[in-house]
Amino acid sequence: MERVNIINVSKKFGGVSLFCRANFSFYAGEIIGLSGNNGAGKTTFIKLLCGLIYPDSGQISVNGIDIKKNRTRCMRDVGVLLEGSRSLYWRLSAMQNFIYFAGLKSVFGKGAFTRAEKALQCFDLWDVRNSKVETFSFGMKQRLSLACSVSHSPSIILLDEPTSGLDAISAKMLENYIILLANENRTIVLASHDHKMIERVSTRRLIIDNGIISDTF
Amino acid sequence: MILFKILWNEIKKEFSNTWSYRWQWVGEFISLSVFFFFLSMLTHKAEAGIAYCVWFYSVLIIGDISGKVALEMRTGTFEQIYLSSTSIPILFLSKAITAVFRALLIMVILILFFWFFGYVNFSFFKLNIIYVILLLTPSLFGISLFVGGLTILLKDTGWLINIINNGFLFLSGIFLPLDSFPSNFQRISLLIPTTQAIKVLNLDQIFIEDCIIMLVVNFFYFGFGILCFFVFEKKAKMKGILGHY
């Protein structure tokens, strides 16, 4: 089942071509590992997939819908983790953050609280649910960000450096969680510097180098 | 129903977050009180104080929304708004509702404060103010969207907020009557929404023509603001600078 379709996508920044006529399809249950050097364009690729950046040309569709034309509809199916600790309201509690971000994805009321309980327990944050995020460690913020980004049970999950700043135990926990999500037939796109983690987790690898994305199954 | 839930979710977050910066409210209350006192009491003209309140209401809303955009870009939460399955102007509308509530709350506390000490009586506050607030708010939302959109693109729009604040203050007829302006300035001042608002506020009787002029001016700003916001947002997405600061 095709979840993401990238057709002839090109993007330039400051005259430098990051991607040139890229064509890919991502399918249900896949974990796509995205690797490349600093500045290769991993974050840009993730942002293109979720519509935060528009391509210069080409089209990206999510579950058959053009993301540029219907962002709000596409976002119901997409969960994104970007720079974890900065994606949260530090002066609100973990629970307030989760409920707010679930609301942004149209999950309200009892449903949101049930999901919050499940997610915060899963990410070992239940005991600190009423504490302000500003008191959290970097790893806790990262875990909370991930919990918030999947609060609406999306079918496509985009993760930009999810293990950044995590200790070995937390990183392992996250790896297991990613595999669990993929087993639930979700599509995961994972950008990371951690080549070993990408090799362990991904079912397919994309390497970005000098504007060329090569696909290695 | 879903729209109401989205608005409420955003308003609740805005209040919780804004309340954590509550010293700002205290500062705004003190500055408004001082100027209100000087303008109304020392000039013996109640209308000057009320006109100042209208200006304060306007700049608080414009500054609040664009300030929040800038703050969210700096803290990193701005991109999260764009990852929502909700229309962005609706989320901005929630920010505007919070700003309106905050501005009205500060003004009501101020009026009660001065009333308690016998400096004002309620006859100062004509019913016109309700029409004025209702008619003025859409244009303020439009200007806020314009400045908010420009903030997404240029990142720092403090200079523009200063121009708007001072323009509204000096060209709306708060300090000087419009008749005393040079003719070019008079024409410019008529295009400022607060000028129309203060004009209607000072009338003993509201005529439908005045309301229509005010309505047209305000909805022009409303439409212009929304249009500009979408243009600026598209440019920012093309440049890939949505979350930059």
Give the model's pLDDT for residue B16.
87
Query: Of A86, A108, A152, which has the smallest distance from its Cβ to B5's Cβ?
Result: A108
Cβ atoms A69, A9 nearer than 8 A = no
pLDDT, tens only, A183-205? 999 999 999 988 889 999 999 99
Max Cα separation, chain A? 50
> Long-range contacts for A59-65 (Cβ within 8 Å, ≥24 apart)?
A59/A5, A59/A6, A59/A7, A59/A8, A59/A9, A60/A4, A60/A5, A60/A6, A60/A7, A60/A9, A61/A4, A61/A5, A61/A7, A62/A3, A62/A4, A62/A156, A63/A3, A63/A155, A63/A156, A64/A2, A64/A5
On the question of pLDDT at B244 being above 90, the answer is: no
Better-predicted residue by pLDDT, B151 or B20: B151
Q: Determine the pLDDT at residue B46.
A: 63
Task: Kindly state whether residue B49 falls inside one of the protein's structural domains.
Answer: yes
Alpha-helical (H) ranges within A25-107 are 42-49, 71-75, 94-104
For B58, B93, B133, B173, the CA distances from B181, given in Å and listed in that order, are: 22, 35, 25, 9
Query: Which of A85, A86, A158 to probe the B interface (max B CBs under 10 A)?
Result: A86
Residue of A nearest to B72 (CA): A89
The total of other beta-carbon atoms located within 10 Å of residue B238's CB is 13
Q: Model's pTM, two decimal places?
A: 0.88
In a domain, B133, yes or no: yes
How would residue A37 be classed by pLDDT, with cut points 50, 70 and 90? confident
Q: What angle do CA A149, A154, A156 make, to 5 degrees?
A: 95
Q: Give the rounded percent of residues in chain A with a pLDDT score beyond 90.
A: 66
CB-based contact A53 B237, cutoff 8 Å: yes
Question: Per the domain annotation, does B244 fall within a domain?
Answer: no
> Of the ranges B40-44, B47-51, B67-71, B203-207, which one carries the lowest mean pLDDT score?
B40-44
* Residue A84 to residue A174: CA distance in whole angstroms: 13
- Chain B CB contacts of A13 under 8 Å are 240
Residue B120 predicted with pLDDT over 80: no
Answer yes or no: is B245 within a domain.
no
Q: Above 90 in pLDDT, residue A33?
A: yes
Chain A to chain B, count of Cβ pairs less than 8 Å apart?
89
The label of the residue with tokens 């994305």 reads A213
Q: Which of B38, B62, B221, B21 is nearest to B119 (CA)?
A: B38
Q: Please say if the pLDDT value at position A102 is more than 70.
A: yes
- Report which of A21, A25, A81, A84 is spatially closest to residue A52, judged by C-alpha positions: A81
Whether pLDDT at A84 is above 70: no
CB-based contact B242 A56, cutoff 8 Å:
no
Residue B160 maps to a domain: yes
Cα(B225)–Cα(A116) distance, integer angstroms: 37
| Residue B227 lies in domain | 2-239
For B82, nearest residue in chain A (alpha carbons) = A52
Q: In which band, very low, low, confident or very high, does the pLDDT at B32 lie, cut at 50, 70 and 90?
A: confident
| pLDDT mean over B73-91 | 87
Q: Phi first, then psi: what are they for A216, rounded to 5°?
A: -125, 110
* Nearest chain A residue (CA) to B12: A100
Number of domains in chain B: 1
How high is the mean pLDDT of chain B? 84
CB A1 within 8 A of CB A27: yes
Least CA distance to B240: which residue of chain A?
Answer: A53
Look at residue A101 in the predicted model and tell me its pLDDT: 94
Cα–Cα distances (Å) from A105 to A177, A179, B34, B65, B85, in that order, read: 21, 23, 44, 22, 5
pLDDT for residue B215 is more than 90: no
Residues of chain B with Cβ-Cβ distance to A71 below 8 Å are 82
pLDDT digits (tens, 9 = 90+) for B188-207: 888 888 888 888 877 777 77
B238, two tokens: 């093309």
